[in-house]
């Protein structure tokens, strides 16, 4: 028995098999917005936060921070100080495509989650920050949102209970950095999206200096499930230190890529089987378990590893966004790393020198190795560069750029050494 | 050193660019002004509406030359420098004139190993332009994009900041380019989840304009 339990008979809850679930009336017919009604009429705000804490829900946006704890960081309510929620739908981590599917197929679960979070933290409004590339999905969401307002499920006096909250759409314009919470706030304020130094944390001083909480789409979509089925039910799904249903976005060299909903704690090998195995009967070479910034795993490192923070940490990687990229035996890891480094070079916002310059040098060095002109020394230079970048910048983008470089070189060193020219000077002499 | 001074590394903005639009063209209609006023009310300060208004201006004018940014700044009573700063930070705001159709081909790593660069090379050859350029007829601009968030349907591209096209093959690209040349609108495609296929026998959205499935990705020949 794996941590995921009896996953073969798992019934989907984030994306239950109901036709046209994106329509408000279909969603309501299936018991939608009943969790919100229950919360607004019978629960105290603190009780909602406590229930989310009990559920053990961790953020699904990459960092995996406990959501209930994050909600409890909001300061006590003061008169005339508005408080905000930002729903982070700026899904730009390479390898991740789950939030887009959730917003397309079950947007009201997210909206209900937003409103429940709004009640729990006594918020004035939620800004739904969707990346600009999702223009079509923004239109779809706006349609559903206007229906929500018409049905008095958003805006003032929701369901006649006196609770008021607005949901406001914000359209990004193509910047990976906006997925970082403080950068997202700067972007919302109509500035260049340069991350802010923490502290002060968003709960103390967020958008326009007001208390703010930022949660991922999938995280908020879990809130109605926790309310309607209970925090204990949620805590019992999947791995106990990292429970709940999760959307696995599987891509790369597999026969059946796509977004799959299963509990956390799934064996990686099981997920590979679900996705139809590696294309063309090839062997697996490498796996990126949670988006570009998490360390890559070699095929021989995944036996018995499950998709939850604990097990992946032991294996030397991270859960990230659960966007899993499988790569087959023909993959050129140098080319892979070159593209990853290029991504970070392009997306570095340019605020901190170690990141702005470091990501560029990383790309240059890896390009040199990929072109067959690198020296063995370059590998150690790259690792040294990682040390110089990690933890020396305002946000975690430099760390996110350094981790894959460090770990890909460490775990596939042979691939890199074969591409380098023998050094003119003795290495480690 | 002298070279460095003569050729600065950073391309400096043209301080006195030739205007693309005349004074008469540079106005928002009353409907657009109403829309802008609506955006402004959604934020505690007018600054927040900058991104929406830049989107609106880009839809109206096609791209954002300095005089359009100035118009946005005046409309929102913001410093020009702030609007310029925002417009130049984000890749989806076009700072120079683009083709009628901007083809953003994703080449980030999932697409890289599933034929993203093959798609890009095929389009380069088909349109006769290099990535980053516009065809002489002004119809197509070809760009290499960072992750567009459709990794399971690689290779894919986005057309003019709008619809996505998934699981591209040479035949599919030919058909798409033909449709664009004929001026046909591209549909919004819903991609069926694998579990929906098993449990519901197809896509869950009965109102979907067009439906596709996640497919076995092709073998990539190029990786850069």
- Measured between beta carbons, the chain B residues lying within 8 angstroms of A334 are none
- Measured between beta carbons, the chain A residues lying within 8 angstroms of B84 are none
How far is residue A77 from each of residues A52, A70, A122, A207, measured CA to CA in Å? 19, 16, 7, 16
A55-92 confidence digits (pLDDT tens): 999 999 988 999 999 999 999 999 999 999 999 999 99
DSSP classification of residue A195: P
Q: Tokens in use for A349?
A: 């916002």
CA distance B123 to A346: 22
B5-19, B127-141, B167-181: least confident range:
B5-19
Give pLDDT, residue B18: 81
Give pLDDT, residue B19: 86
Question: How much is the mean pLDDT over chain A?
Answer: 94
CA distance B90 to A399: 22
Closest approach of A75 to chain B, Cα-based (Å): 20
B42–A15 CB contact, under 8 Å:
no
**pLDDT band at residue A421 using 50, 70 and 90 as cut-offs:** confident
CB of B32 less than 8 A from some CB of A: no
Of residues B60 and B14, which shows the higher confidence score?
B60
Contacts 24+ apart (CB under 8 A), A229-236: A229/A13, A230/A51, A231/A51, A231/A52, A231/A53, A231/A54, A231/A55, A231/A56, A232/A54, A232/A55, A234/A55, A234/A56, A234/A57, A235/A54, A235/A55, A235/A56
Task: Return the percentage of chain A with pLDDT > 70, whole number.
Answer: 98
> Of A265, A257, A254, A319, whose CA–CA distance to A293 is shortest?
A319
Chain A residue closest in CA terms to B194? A258
Note whether A125 and A84 are within 8 A (CB): yes
**pLDDT band at residue B13 using 50, 70 and 90 as cut-offs:** low
- Measured between beta carbons, the chain A residues lying within 8 angstroms of B162 are 135-136
Chain A residue closest in CA terms to B107? A339
Domain B101-213: CATH class, spelled out: alpha beta
B2-89 and B101-213: same fold? no
CB of B48 less than 8 A from some CB of A: yes
CB contacts < 8 A, A to B, total 205
A95–B49 CB contact, under 8 Å:
no
Give pLDDT, residue A103: 96
Smallest Cβ–Cβ distance between B86 and the set A190, A252, A339 belongs to: A190
Q: What predicted TM-score, i.e. pTM, was given to this entire model? A: 0.94
Beta bridge partner(s), residue A14: none
CA distance B66 to B88: 11
Test the B interface: residue of A62, A137, A173 with most B CBs within 10 Å: A173
Residue recorded with tokens 């070699």: A298
Predicted confidence (pLDDT) at residue A252 exceeds the cutoff of 70: yes
Phi/psi of residue A176, each to 5°?
-60, -35
Predicted confidence (pLDDT) at residue A289 exceeds the cutoff of 50: yes
**pLDDT band at residue A3 using 50, 70 and 90 as cut-offs:** confident
Smallest Cβ–Cβ distance between A255 and the set B114, B199, B216 belongs to: B216
Give pLDDT, residue B184: 93
> Of B200, B124, B115, whose CA–CA distance to B151 is shortest?
B115
CB atoms under 10 Å from CB of A265, counted, come to 24
Question: Could you give the maximum distance between any two Cα atoms of chain B, in Å?
Answer: 69
**pLDDT band at residue A425 using 50, 70 and 90 as cut-offs:** low
Q: Is the dihedral of CA A398, A402, A403, A408 positive or negative?
A: positive
**pLDDT band at residue B2 using 50, 70 and 90 as cut-offs:** low
CB atoms under 10 Å from CB of A107, counted, come to 25
B149–A343 CB contact, under 8 Å:
no
Predicted confidence (pLDDT) at residue A127 exceeds the cutoff of 80: yes
- Measured between beta carbons, the chain B residues lying within 8 angstroms of A208 are 44-45
**Domain limits, chain B:** 2-89, 101-213
Smallest Cβ–Cβ distance between B48 and the set A104, A189, A323 belongs to: A189
How far is residue A286 from each of residues A165, A327, A408, measured CA to CA in Å? 46, 5, 10
A132–B55 CB contact, under 8 Å:
yes
Q: Tokens in use for A37?
A: 């009604």
Domains of chain A, each with CATH number or no CATH: 16-235 (3.40.50.11540), 247-328 (3.10.20.600), 333-419 (1.20.1440.230)
How far is residue A200 from each of residues A21, A210, A375, measured CA to CA in Å? 40, 11, 44
A224-244 confidence digits (pLDDT tens): 999 999 999 999 999 999 999
Give pLDDT, residue B10: 58
Closest approach of A76 to chain B, Cα-based (Å): 21
- ipTM for the whole complex: 0.94
Task: Return the percentage of chain A with pLDDT > 90, whole number.
Answer: 95
**Residue numbers of B between 101 and 160 with CB closer than 8 Å to A:** 107-110, 112-114, 146-154, 158
Note whether B67 and B20 are within 8 A (CB): yes
- CATH architecture designation of domain B2-89: Orthogonal Bundle (1.10)
Smallest Cβ–Cβ distance between A94 and the set B52, B108, B188 belongs to: B108
CB of B77 less than 8 A from some CB of A: no
> Average of pLDDT values for B180-193?
95
**pLDDT band at residue B1 using 50, 70 and 90 as cut-offs:** very low
Test the A interface: residue of B53, B164, B204 with most A CBs within 10 Å: B204
Note whether A404 and A337 are within 8 A (CB): yes
CB of B189 less than 8 A from some CB of A: no
């Amino acid at each position: 028995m794996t941590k995921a339990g009896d996953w073969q008979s798992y019934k989907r809850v984030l994306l239950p098999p109901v036709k046209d679930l994106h329509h408000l009336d279909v969603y309501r017919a299936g018991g939608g917005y009943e969790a919100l009604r229950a919360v607004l009429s019978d629960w105290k705000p603190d009780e909602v936060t406590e229930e989310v804490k009990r559920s053990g829900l961790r953020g699904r946006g990459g960092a995996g921070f406990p959501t209930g704890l994050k909600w409890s960081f909001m300061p006590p309510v003061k008169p005339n100080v508005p408080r905000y929620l930002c729903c982070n739908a700026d899904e730009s981590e390479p390898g991740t495509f789950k939030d887009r599917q959730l917003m397309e197929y079950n947007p009201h679960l997210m909206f209900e989650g937003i409103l429940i979070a709004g009640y729990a933290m006594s918020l004035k409004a939620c800004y739904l920050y969707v990346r600009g590339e999702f223009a079509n999905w923004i239109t779809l969401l706006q349609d559903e949102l206007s229906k929500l307002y018409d049905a008095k499920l958003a805006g003032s006096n929701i369901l006649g209970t006196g609770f008021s909250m607005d949901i406001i759409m914000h359209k990004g314009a193509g910047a990976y950095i906006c997925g970082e919470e403080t950068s997202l706030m700067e972007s919302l304020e109509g500035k260049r999206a340069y991350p802010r130094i923490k502290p002060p944390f968003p709960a103390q001083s967020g958008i326009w200096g007001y208390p703010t909480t930022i949660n991922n789409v999938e995280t908020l979509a879990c809130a109605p499930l926790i309310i309607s089925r209970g925090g204990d039910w949620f805590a019992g799904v999947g791995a106990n230190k990292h429970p709940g249903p999760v959307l696995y976005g599987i891509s790369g060299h597999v026969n059946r890529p796509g977004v799959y909903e299963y509990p956390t704690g799934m064996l990686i090998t099981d997920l590979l089987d679900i996705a139809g195995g590696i294309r063309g009967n090839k062997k697996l070479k490498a796996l990126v378990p949670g988006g570009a910034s998490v360390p890559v795993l070699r095929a021989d490192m995944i036996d018995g590893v499950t998709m939850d923070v604990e097990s992946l940490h032991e294996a030397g990687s991270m859960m990230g966004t659960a966007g899993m990229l499988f790569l087959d035996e023909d993959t050129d890891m140098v080319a892979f790393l070159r593209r990853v480094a290029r991504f970070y070079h392009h997306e570095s916002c340019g605020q901190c020198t170690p990141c702005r310059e470091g990501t560029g040098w990383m790309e240059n060095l890896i390009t040199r190795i990929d072109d067959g002109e690198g020296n063995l020394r370059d590998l150690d230079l790259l690792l040294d560069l990682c040390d110089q970048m990690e933890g020396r910048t305002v946000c975690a983008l430099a760390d996110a750029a350094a981790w894959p470089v460090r770990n890909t070189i460490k775990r596939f060193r042979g691939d890199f050494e074969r591409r380098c020219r023998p050094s003119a000077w003795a290495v480690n002499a | 050193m002298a070279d460095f001074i003569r050729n600065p590394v950073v391309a400096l903005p043209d301080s006195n660019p030739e205007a693309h639009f005349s004074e008469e063209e540079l106005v928002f209609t009353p409907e657009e002004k109403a829309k802008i006023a609506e955006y402004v009310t959604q934020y505690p300060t007018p600054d927040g509406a900058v991104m929406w208004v830049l989107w609106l201006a880009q839809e109206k004018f096609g791209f954002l030359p300095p005089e359009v940014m100035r118009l946005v700044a005046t409309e929102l009573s913001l410093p020009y420098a702030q609007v310029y700063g925002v417009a130049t930070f984000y890749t989806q705001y076009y700072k120079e004139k683009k083709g009628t159709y901007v083809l953003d081909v994703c080449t980030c790593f999932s697409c890289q190993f599933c034929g993203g660069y093959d798609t890009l090379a095929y389009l380069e050859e088909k349109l006769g332009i290099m990535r980053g350029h516009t065809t002489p007829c002004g119809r197509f601009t070809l760009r290499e994009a960072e992750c567009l968030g459709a990794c399971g349907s690689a290779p894919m591209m986005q057309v003019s900041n709008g619809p996505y096209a998934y699981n591209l093959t040479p035949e599919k690209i030919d058909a798409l380019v033909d449709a664009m040349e004929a001026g046909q609108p591209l549909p919004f495609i819903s991609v069926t989840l694998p579990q929906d296929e098993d449990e519901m026998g197809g896509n869950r959205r009965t109102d979907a304009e067009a439906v596709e499935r996640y497919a076995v990705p092709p073998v990539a020949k190029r990786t850069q």
